[in-house]
Homo-oligomer: A and B are copies of this chain.
Amino acid sequence: MKPLNVVLIGAGNVAFHIGKALHQKGHSITQVYSKTKANADSLAKMLGADAIDSLEEISKDQDFYLIAIKDDYIHEVGDAVQLHDKMVAHTSGSIPLDALSKISENTGVFYPLQTFSKSKELEMKKVPFCIEGKNESSTVFFMELAKNLSDSVQAVDSATRKKIHLAAVFACNFSNHLYAIAEELLEKDGLSLDLLRPLMEETTKKALNNSPAVVQTGPAKRKDEEVMKSHEVLLSDREDLRELYSLLSESILKKQN
């Protein structure tokens, strides 16, 4: 696609990685906005853009405005800035498109299903993008732009995006919390999570290459009542974890039998 002039509203992890990817594809990042000037400065410097820390400084005649900021502020920015018919998209999994109803006629969602860290390189080509546009021309524009960055792009409406986000909470946020619980349990006995890291890695690899339900293992899967009971006894001083153990085991028993 033809090179675009792009304004990044936000200078966090998502803005960093998408900004870099757009830059590498030949688009020009002209401005980087952050309410924290130092953050705008460092990303702008990397991308050859101007750093700004006031929404009023946003240039009105660019081709694409990417809003990659905390969910809580998307409404606020959407209400404060007026870009007429320019292409404007936010990157959030859980904020509906209509949060941008005032900012422009041509709005959309540009939601990368990935977790980003500035310190970690990432292959943008493999990141799934969920795209939504307010009308046909914006949908076509955002789809084309996403396909410029990634091989895995699909049109997803706000209702479906919310369901995907819910599934991601189960698969990723909640799984990570279970890792954190395992670490807490081990450290209580002077042991390290390092003992489990090879098993965690292998378990996820198996789930990535199979239907997870098919590769389920453990005491609940094999209906080992004795082991489950003894585990609950071990958790008798942690009622919250005992309840979680019991509910997760029941859920496995129900799904697997």
Q: What residues of chain A have their CB less than 8 Å away from a CB belonging to chain B?
A: 71-72, 94, 113-115, 117, 122, 126-128, 130, 152, 154, 160, 162-186, 189, 191, 193-204, 206-208, 211-213, 215-222, 224, 227, 230-231, 234-235, 240-241, 243-245, 247-248, 250-252, 254-255
Are the CB atoms of B170 and A181 closer together than 8 Å?
yes
Bound-state CA distance A203–B186 (Å) is 21
Are the CB atoms of B175 and A203 closer together than 8 Å?
yes
Q: Which residues of B contact A195 (CB under 8 A)?
A: 113, 128, 130, 154, 164
- Known interface pairs A195-B164, A227-B94; A244-B251 also in contact (CB < 8 Å): yes
Are the CB atoms of A172 and B247 closer together than 8 Å?
no
Copy tally for this chain in the complex stands at 2
Q: Which residues of B contact A179 (CB under 8 A)?
A: 170-171, 175, 207, 212
Identify which of B94, B182, B202 contacts A170 (C-beta below 8 A).
Answer: B182
Are the CB atoms of B199 and A234 closer together than 8 Å?
no
- Known interface pairs A113-B199, A128-B198, A195-B164; A217-B176 also in contact (CB < 8 Å): yes
Bound-state CA distance A115–B72 (Å) is 41
Are the CB atoms of B212 and A204 closer together than 8 Å?
no
Are the CB atoms of A213 and B180 closer together than 8 Å?
yes
Bound-state CA distance A94–B127 (Å) is 40
Identify which of B160, B220, B251 contacts A191 (C-beta below 8 A).
Answer: B160
Bound-state CA distance A87–B170 (Å) is 45
Bound-state CA distance A128–B211 (Å) is 26
Are the CB atoms of B197 and A168 closer together than 8 Å?
no
Are the CB atoms of A166 and B115 closer together than 8 Å?
no
Q: Which residues of B contact A171 (CB under 8 A)?
A: 178-179, 181-182, 193, 196, 199-200, 203
Q: Which residues of B contact A174 (CB under 8 A)?
A: 178, 218, 248, 252
Q: Which residues of B contact A217 (CB under 8 A)?
A: 115, 172-173, 176
